[in-house]
A and B are shown apart, each in its own frame.
Chain A
């Protein structure tokens, strides 16, 4: 394209196949929002709020807080990234900041420093951020579609659901597998800990249940709060059998022994603890002491 051609620029009419892209010699400082994909080859500073995908190309630089539906980074990003669907850092990505999205993947070669949390983006923060600015077209995407999108995302693949459900089910209070009566009694009990591990895709709001989740999923004990950071004492499993016989404060896995005892009979190929946990006698511990290797007979 010659230098000063008078408006011989391609795609004269709007819409159609206009692909928004920020050229490599362009710098945008401020707030960038919209509902279509953006490819950044240049520099963007400030805030990005997109209802679609943001692609940061290898030569692109984004120094901004990014809220988008999908974010694919092949360039440089300094700032937190919140995505409703997925964040992908490719091999040439250089990211410093926190990532928050239900799906996050770092490809080999990506450089990243920051925190990762696989939760749907914080709705309150999004709304606050939207109202903080004079959201133009972006305001309509503020709360509702964000949450909806996050929810639908969670409910999407059935097999993924089962996999996720099984994993937390295993680590969840073993009562999940017990007959309901006992389960209820048990789950009411837990003294310590907070919840069993709540994985990212678990609903942020209690109302949302994973539809394909196996029956065993007990909604009651489930706290919708997003994941408690592993600060400490996430008691994964506590079984009545253990608590009764071993009062030593257990840091985490309470169910170690009974877990294994139960697993004895179950197939371990998939997530352990699928079978109903019977109340089994505790396996003999070979040696008491700081370091204990428990053998399951």
Chain B
């Protein structure tokens, strides 16, 4: 039950004073209570949904920033690895010379 899933708000409506909405989870649509994030979301925004309730807005620019930072880090890691491999093979070449 504790698994939160990010989904995109399609439309918002009022149900007897409670803010509800249709949320799309990669093609599956569900009715979700939006009351807790009412002040900060609109159609098109992403929210984390738990047991039918949006409990947080997903900040798209933050999501992009984190991912780019991770990707950059892993690319640097790959460069390091390539350098290590290159240095090792260079050393092997040197050693194997008569």
A, B from the same assembly: no
B residues engaging A (CB < 8 A)? none
